Amino acid sequence: MPCNYPGFHVAFKVDSGSNENYFAVIVEYEGGDGDLAGVDLMQSGTDAWQPMQQSWGAVWQLNAGSIMKAPFSIRLTTSESKRQTVFSNVIPAGWKPGATYIAH
């Protein structure tokens, strides 16, 4: 059953195992355009999208192998329409494992 956050497009819950080198996020609501085909992350100070790997269910992860610099922007690509939506700086500097960040 899809989650529904009235007035919001998506909520990102940072996985409790995330740290400065490894980032995983649960995409809790995805605007109703089908399943996600891809999730990409852009670190602060760069203009390059890094593809995240689907771990299980709605969990997407990136093992950078080095310290990652927040805030993070996240780009979602839907399976059905291949529509891409960018959430700029949705994960703030100072993010915490287990916290949920809601994009408007």
Instruction: Give the CATH number for residue 80.
Output: 2.60.40.760
d(CA 58, CA 30): 10
Give Cα separations from 9 to 32, 35, 43 (angstroms): 9, 14, 21
- Residue corresponding to tokens 């809601």: 102
For residue 2, being part of any structural domain is answered with: no
Predicted TM-score of the model (pTM) = 0.87
- Tens digit of each residue's pLDDT (9 = 90 or more) over 20-33: 999 999 998 656 66
Domain, as residue range, for 31: 10-103
For residue 4, being part of any structural domain is answered with: no
Contacts of 58 (CB under 8 A, 6+ apart): 26, 27, 28, 36
For residue 3, being part of any structural domain is answered with: no
- Tens digit of each residue's pLDDT (9 = 90 or more) over 35-82: 889 999 999 999 999 999 999 888 999 999 899 999 999 999 988 888
44 residue type, one letter: S
20 residue type, one letter: E
For residue 30, being part of any structural domain is answered with: yes
